[in-house]
Amino acid sequence: MRIVLVLLFSLILNANLLQEAIDNAKDGDILNLASGIYEGNIVINKAISIIGDGGDVTIKGDGKGSVVKILSSFVTLKNLNITNSGNRHDLLDSAILIKEVKQIEINNIKITNCLFGIDMQIVHNSIIKNNYIESFDTELGLRGDGLRIWYSNDNIITNNELYKTRDMVVWYSHGNLIENNKGSFGRYSLHFMHAGKNIIKNNYYEKNSVGIFFMFSRDSIVENNTIKSSLGTTGMGIGLKEVDHFTIKNNILAYNAIGIYIDRSPYEPDSVNDFMGNKILYNTEAIRFHSINIDNNFTKNTFLGNIEDILADTPKSDIYKNTFSENYWDNYKGFDMDKDNYGDTSHKKYEYMDKIWAYNENIKYFYGSPIISLLEFLLKLAPFTEPTFLFEDLKPKMYHEEILNG
């Protein structure tokens, strides 16, 4: 292993000494970059490391294509600024393009003014950590994805911050650990499709359109994430569409339009999804069921401050075929005479005709108005139609942790 010093200062902008140093390097070499601006649009096709010296080390593209392309395994990039990619979505112009390799480390990279951030195509057993990623300063739909993980397995994605990018996507990718990341002012904080056996934990997502959305995926664990203030009338914390064998536990979902959105999940016969210990707080709708959903287990969750706890937007959606047990409901009206912290009677939820707004977006305009509130009161007092039974929690919890500790 050789250590090669590349001394290039900001006055030298025309000579691509960095690419020349890469071309002359051997496998295992380390290129230490002194502070300065280095010409981008470089291609790394051998097992080397490029490490900034701790100062202001910038690799700047020419505004076309990707700034750095990694086409070899066992490459490390560390302590760098990368900026000024191209703007073509069809070419996935990125700060860092990594393609068909393994054991890559991208560590402490600051990415700005790049369409896509890090694009991983068929990349395995790699580490992406401690990076800051920001897209172009443009409309949300015109930005690129901060992190794009495509057909890439067994990677560690940790301690990254995505700010004003479009999405972070994990498609056709399995066995990845996504931990301690932050995302704000994007569209999808995390979007999974055809992905399995991923672990998503301890992430913090705020003021995005959607927190985490899973499609056609299975066998994953989602725990200890905080998702707040998903923007817009359809902003949601966690969404599930046709997913199986998921464990969703100990997450905080607060101030969203929809806390959890469930669409045909689980999808496969004999599959179960478990929701345990989540705090679903101050959302417009805590859980919205779309289409028929059965075999979800909701245990020891906290429902507090939501305008609606459970809502079905599809008639005959069979919500009662899901299991609810030991959840705290702030609108439970029972008693705890034996002082065991559980209600003496079950918590039953019915849907009355006042919820017709759930099926008709035009009527939703009047949601929360005095006339709808009056209609709800009259229907509960003397219903003139048979209400629809939604669900029953056989063992509702009387107090949640804050009350017990307060």
pLDDT tens-place string over residues 29-42: 999 999 999 999 99
CA distances from 271 to 122, 203, 392 (A): 29, 26, 21
pLDDT given at position 318: 82
Q: What is the 3-state secondary structure (H, E, C) of 379-392?
A: HHHCCCCCCEEEEE
pLDDT given at position 379: 62
Q: What is the DSSP letter of 398?
A: S
244 has a pLDDT exceeding 90: yes
13 has a pLDDT exceeding 80: no
Mean pLDDT of 105-116: 98
In a domain, 396, yes or no: yes
pLDDT grade for 182, boundaries at 50, 70 and 90: very high
Q: Give the strand pairing for 236-241 and 226-228.
A: unpaired
Q: Residues in the chain, how many? A: 406
The residue out of 141, 171, 205 marking a domain boundary is 141
Residue listed under structure tokens 């990845």: 176
In a domain, 366, yes or no: no
pLDDT given at position 233: 75
Write out the two tokens for 192: 């999974």
On whether both 21 and 111 belong to a single domain, the answer is yes
On whether both 202 and 137 belong to a single domain, the answer is no
On whether both 121 and 25 belong to a single domain, the answer is yes
In a domain, 119, yes or no: yes
Residues 6 or more apart in contact with residue 87 via CB below 8 angstroms:
63, 93, 115, 136
In a domain, 97, yes or no: yes
Domain count, the chain: 2
On whether both 121 and 197 belong to a single domain, the answer is no
> What are the backbone dihedrals phi and psi of residue 294, each rounded to the nearest 5 degrees, phi first?
-135, 165
357 has a pLDDT exceeding 60: no
On whether both 127 and 213 belong to a single domain, the answer is no
Q: What pTM was computed for the model?
A: 0.89
pLDDT given at position 261: 97
Bridge partners (DSSP) listed for residue 238: 212, 260
Residue listed under structure tokens 């694009």: 119
351 has a pLDDT exceeding 90: no
In a domain, 221, yes or no: yes
Mean pLDDT of 56-63: 96
pLDDT grade for 287, boundaries at 50, 70 and 90: very high
pLDDT grade for 402, boundaries at 50, 70 and 90: low
Smallest CA-to-CA distance from 222 within 230, 231, 213 is with 213
pLDDT tens-digit map of 15-30: 589 999 999 999 999 9
232 burial via Cβ count (<10 Å: 0-12, 13-18, 19+):
exposed
Mean pLDDT of 168-191: 98
Mean pLDDT of 363-375: 64
On whether both 391 and 298 belong to a single domain, the answer is yes
Mean pLDDT of 171-198: 98
55 burial via Cβ count (<10 Å: 0-12, 13-18, 19+):
exposed
pLDDT given at position 8: 45
On whether both 261 and 400 belong to a single domain, the answer is yes
d(C-alpha 249, C-alpha 252), whole Å:
9
In a domain, 156, yes or no: no
326 burial via Cβ count (<10 Å: 0-12, 13-18, 19+):
middle
> What are the backbone dihedrals phi and psi of residue 393, each rounded to the nearest 5 degrees, phi first?
-100, 110
CB 321 within 8 A of CB 294: yes
On whether both 102 and 235 belong to a single domain, the answer is no
Mean pLDDT of the chain: 90
Write out the two tokens for 289: 């069921």
> Which of 120-134, 202-216, 278-292, 383-397 is predicted least confidently?
383-397
pLDDT given at position 12: 44
pLDDT given at position 178: 98
The residue out of 81, 111, 141 marking a domain boundary is 141
Strand, helix or coil for residue 401: helix
**Amino acid letter, 320:** Y
199 has a pLDDT exceeding 60: yes
Cβ count near 23 (within 10 Å): 12
Q: In angstroms, how far is CA 317 from the centroid of its own chain?
A: 27
CA distances from 398 to 143, 184, 284, 348 (A): 46, 35, 22, 14
CB 254 within 8 A of CB 282: yes
On whether both 216 and 79 belong to a single domain, the answer is no
pLDDT given at position 363: 58
Q: How far apart are the first and last CA of the chain?
A: 60
The residue out of 141, 176, 197 marking a domain boundary is 141
The whole domain housing 4 covers: 1-141
CB 125 within 8 A of CB 105: no
On whether both 60 and 135 belong to a single domain, the answer is yes
On whether both 291 and 394 belong to a single domain, the answer is yes
d(C-alpha 4, C-alpha 24), whole Å:
10
pLDDT given at position 11: 40
d(C-alpha 2, C-alpha 103), whole Å:
20
In a domain, 101, yes or no: yes
7 has a pLDDT exceeding 60: no
In a domain, 358, yes or no: no
On whether both 211 and 63 belong to a single domain, the answer is no
Write out the two tokens for 94: 């990125």
Whichever domain contains 15, its CATH number is 2.160.20.10
